[in-house]
């Protein structure tokens, strides 16, 4: 069964929390990270992306970057930007984006549960990115960015969350991007620790590199400690646990740089052999088994039968049911020659938060030849793939809003 525990971590002073908290390290490039942290010496971005405080000629994976991160983190502790909690705590973290909101429980989860597949994964990690976060975590002996976990909702836990959120919050602010962040210290931590023992499985929604890196550091510390007991802080990593029915998944759209030798007319002719095509379609599909294609200044609707209806005897596996898989297997690979979207230089991915206007812009500018607007993958599909021990295609989900880093830090 799942386990989540209170931890005695570091939290920012309430009067500067808005300056400390930052977007996740992997949603911005170096220049964007530097811009966000400009004029904010309190920002955790100086730790998570320490290369912004070094010359641009320094490689982001250079030893100097991790040394700079350790220096910056030590400064934030010694100057009181971060303060140590008096006792182990759990927290509730609510994000509000327009009319949408989600509330998750913040605590630490065991590395052992990650290794034993109680915390299930659905993505592969890239070695360079995993190595980077592993080095950072090991160098500063802390998890600065929480892993975004989800679980199948539980009415008793939901009711307890609602009760706890009537108290005065520890933090309550709206970031520059308009997303509101509210944090409460949990009064009855023992209830939540016990309640989650009923939850059979947790799923990594976002943060596969952070979780894999935290697990690696835990294993390394365990192997290096002859007096290891299993109770050390390095045996757990920082997480936020959200019920699946609250999550908002946006589509991850595709743009392709050229038509693989086709003209727009011949490409569209090939598409008609594969999918049912409608002209003057809406830019955003409104149901699964549909996509929208932007080509030569026009939107086309692509639709196909449910995979189960095409193969009623032997239903396809959960990965092949995904709309992104259907598009990849039937069109992108055979017609556009994109055999491996993980490595192909002819395709790019556009998070749904940017809207379909970004797809139009990139095609109309001549940068790309065609764009595909997708229907979002569901939480149920994510869980089914993780339960089957399978891996999602690259760029299948875009979770929004993103968790802020720096509201809680787990040290060991």
Query: What are the tens digits of pLDDT across the range 340-361?
Result: 998 899 999 999 889 999 999 9
Structure tokens at 55: 């010359």
Q: What is the pLDDT of residue 393?
A: 87
Provide DSSP, 200-249.
--EEEEE-HHHHHHHHHHHHHHHHH-TT--S-SGGGEEEEEEEEGGG--E
Task: Give the span between the Cα atoms of 199 and 303, in whole angstroms.
Answer: 37
Task: Give the span between the Cα atoms of 300 and 278, in whole angstroms.
Answer: 6
335 burial level (CB within 10 Å; 0-12, 13-18, 19+): middle
Q: What is the pTM of this model?
A: 0.90
Q: What is the pLDDT of residue 395?
A: 87
Name 127's Cβ contacts closer than 8 Å, sequence gap at least 6. Answer: none
Q: What is the pLDDT of residue 209?
A: 94
Q: What is the pLDDT of residue 317?
A: 86
Mean pLDDT of 289-317: 83
Task: Give the span between the Cα atoms of 296 and 84, in whole angstroms.
Answer: 58
Mean pLDDT of 260-285: 97
Q: Which of 195, 188, 102, 193 has its CA nearest to residue 155?
A: 195
Estimate to the nearest angstrom the gap between the alpha carbon of 5 and the chain centroid: 22
Q: What is the pLDDT of residue 375?
A: 97
Task: Give the span between the Cα atoms of 220 and 126, in whole angstroms.
Answer: 19
* 144-148, 304-308, 344-348, range with the lowest pLDDT: 304-308
Q: What is the pLDDT of residue 168?
A: 97
**Mean pLDDT for all residues in the chain:** 95
Mean pLDDT of 287-296: 97
Mean pLDDT of 76-80: 98
pLDDT at residue 93 tops 70: yes
Q: Which run of H or E residues covers position 121?
A: none
User: H-type helices in 83-154, by residue range?
Assistant: 111-115, 127-140
Q: What is the pLDDT of residue 36?
A: 96
Task: Give the span between the Cα atoms of 143 and 410, in whole angstroms.
Answer: 5
Mean pLDDT of 18-47: 96
Query: 252-375, which class in CATH?
Result: alpha beta
Q: What is the pLDDT of residue 169?
A: 98
Q: What is the pLDDT of residue 310?
A: 56
Q: What is the pLDDT of residue 342?
A: 84
Residue percentage of the chain with pLDDT more than 70: 98
pLDDT at residue 275 tops 80: yes
Mean pLDDT of 212-238: 96
* Residue 37 and residue 113 in contact, taking contact as beta carbons nearer than 8 Å: no
Peptide bond before 401: cis, by omega within 30 degrees of 0? yes
* 257-266, 307-316, 324-333, range with the lowest pLDDT: 307-316
Report in angstroms the alpha-carbon separations of 203 from 82, 123, 149, 265, 384. 29, 11, 5, 43, 10
Task: Give the span between the Cα atoms of 335 and 302, in whole angstroms.
Answer: 15
Which band of pLDDT confidence, cut at 50, 70 and 90, is reported for residue 316? Answer: low
* 26-35, 110-119, 197-206, 394-403, range with the lowest pLDDT: 394-403
**pLDDT one-digit tens code per residue, 228-256:** 999 999 999 999 999 999 998 999 999 99
Q: What is the pLDDT of residue 174?
A: 97
pLDDT at residue 306 tops 90: no
Mean pLDDT of 27-43: 95
209 burial level (CB within 10 Å; 0-12, 13-18, 19+): buried
Torsion angle of C-alpha atoms 337, 338, 339, 341, degrees rounded to 10: 180
Q: Which run of H or E residues covers position 346?
A: none
* Residue extents of the structural domains in the chain: 10-248+400-411, 252-375
DSSP state of 52: G
């Amino acid at each position: 069964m799942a386990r989540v525990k209170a931890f005695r971590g570091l939290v920012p002073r309430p009067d500067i929390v808005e300056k400390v908290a930052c977007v996740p390290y992997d949603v911005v490039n170096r220049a964007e990270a530097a811009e966000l942290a400009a004029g904010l010496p309190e920002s955790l971005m100086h730790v998570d992306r320490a290369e912004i405080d070094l010359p641009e000629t320094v490689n982001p994976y250079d030893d100097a970057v991790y040394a700079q991160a350790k220096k910056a983190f030590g400064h934030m502790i010694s100057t009181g930007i971060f303060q140590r909690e008096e006792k182990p705590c759990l927290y509730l973290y609510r994000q509000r984006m327009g009319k949408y909101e989600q509330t998750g429980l913040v605590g630490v989860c065991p590395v052992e549960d990650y290794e034993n597949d109680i915390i299930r994964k659905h993505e592969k990690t890239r070695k360079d990115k995993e190595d980077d976060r592993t080095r950072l975590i090991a160098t500063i002996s802390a998890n600065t960015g929480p892993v975004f976990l989800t679980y199948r909702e539980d009415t008793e836990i939901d009711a307890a969350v609602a009760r706890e959120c009537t108290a005065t919050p520890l933090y309550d602010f709206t970031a520059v991007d308009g997303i509101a962040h509210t944090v409460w210290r949990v009064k009855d931590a023992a209830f939540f620790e016990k309640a989650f023992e009923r939850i059979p499985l947790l799923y990594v929604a976002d943060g596969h590199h952070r979780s894999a890196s935290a697990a690696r550091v835990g294993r390394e510390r365990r192997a290096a400690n002859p007096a290891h007991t299993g109770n050390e802080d390095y045996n757990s990593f920082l997480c936020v646990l959200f019920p699946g029915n609250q999550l908002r998944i946006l589509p991850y759209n595709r743009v392709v740089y050229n038509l693989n030798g086709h003209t727009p007319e011949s490409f569209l002719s090939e598409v008609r052999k594969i999918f049912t095509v409608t002209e003057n379609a809406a830019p955003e599909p409104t149901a699964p088994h549909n996509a929208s294609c932007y080509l030569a200044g026009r939107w086309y609707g692509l639709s196909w039968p449910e995979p189960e209806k095409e193969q009623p005897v032997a239903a396809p596996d959960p990965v092949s049911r995904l709309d992104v898989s259907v598009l990849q297997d039937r069109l992108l690979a055979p017609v556009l020659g994109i055999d491996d979207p993980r490595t192909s230089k002819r395709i790019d991915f556009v998070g749904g938060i940017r809207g379909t206007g970004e797809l139009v812009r990139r095609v109309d500018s001549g940068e790309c030849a065609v764009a595909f607007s997708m229907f979002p993958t569901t939480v149920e599909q994510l869980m089914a793939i993780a339960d089957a021990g399978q891996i999602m295609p690259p760029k299948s989900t875009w979770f929004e809003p993103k968790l802020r880093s720096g509201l809680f830090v787990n040290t060991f």
